[in-house]
Amino acid sequence: MAEFWDLIVRSNTFNFIVLLVILAIIYQKLNISSAIEKMKTEIAQFIENSKKEREVSEKHLTDTKKSVEHLDEEIKETLEKSKVLAQNVFDEIQSMAQKSVEKIEANVDKIIDNETRKINTKLSQTTAGSAVDLATARLKEMFEKNPELHEKHINDAIETLDRIKL
């Protein structure tokens, strides 16, 4: 019997059967079928999610292509609008600057006119004052040289006052 047992143990078929039994026991113990099933489910879920993400990405790509489709025209239109707006702003600023210059020039003219009037008034006052002083000095000199003339003027002034009726 020992020879028979030796023959069986050395046989490849026996070894293969023992290996299968051991694998079957491990398969049952580790519950490999449920792990394989779980992996199948996870892979199927991953594939499904990938398909959904691809659809979303393709829709996003289509939307982006549509939005970019007329981008050159929109840029040109925006640039044209910007040029028109810039020209309008430039014209408005230039107009306001011109009006400001005109106001300043008008104010300068008014200030010059006012200063001229002030100078003329001061000059007239100074001239009138000098004329009165000169006339007073001449009258005093005349009255000192000719005292009768002084009395004559006093009498003429009294007569003029008498003629005025109150």
Give residue 1's pLDDT. Answer: 66
Q: Is residue 96 part of a domain?
A: no
Give residue 45's pLDDT. Answer: 94
Cβ atoms 118, 111 nearer than 8 A: no
Give residue 43's pLDDT. Answer: 92
pLDDT tens-digit readout, 9-68: 677 777 788 888 988 888 777 776 777 788 899 999 999 999 999 999 999 999 888 888
Query: Taking 90 as the threshold, does the pLDDT of residue 73 lie above it?
Result: no
Q: Is residue 110 part of a domain?
A: no
DSSP 166: -
Q: Is residue 26 part of a domain?
A: yes
Give residue 44's pLDDT. Answer: 93
Q: How confident is the model at residue 165 (pLDDT cuts 50, 70, 90)?
A: low
Average pLDDT over residues 103-107: 84
Using CA of residue 88, residue 94, residue 100, residue 105, what is the dihedral sign?
negative
Average pLDDT over residues 71-95: 89
- For the chain, give the longest Cα–Cα distance: 194
Tokens, residue 9: 């143990």
The structural domain count of the chain equals 1
Cβ atoms 149, 143 nearer than 8 A: yes
Q: Is residue 33 part of a domain?
A: yes
Its domain, for residue 1, covers 1-53
Residue type, 149: L
Cβ atoms 36, 42 nearer than 8 A: no
Query: Taking 60 as the threshold, does the pLDDT of residue 166 lie above it?
Result: no
Query: Taking 90 as the threshold, does the pLDDT of residue 105 lie above it?
Result: no
Q: Is residue 100 part of a domain?
A: no
pLDDT tens-digit readout, 124-157: 888 888 888 888 888 788 878 887 877 887 788 7
Q: Which of 126, 157, 123, 122 is nearest to 139 (CA)?
A: 157
Tokens, residue 26: 């491990």
Q: Is residue 105 part of a domain?
A: no
Q: Is residue 48 part of a domain?
A: yes
What whole-number distance in Å separates Cα of residue 58 and Cα of residue 50?
A: 12
Using DSSP's 3-state secondary structure scheme, residue 66 falls into: helix
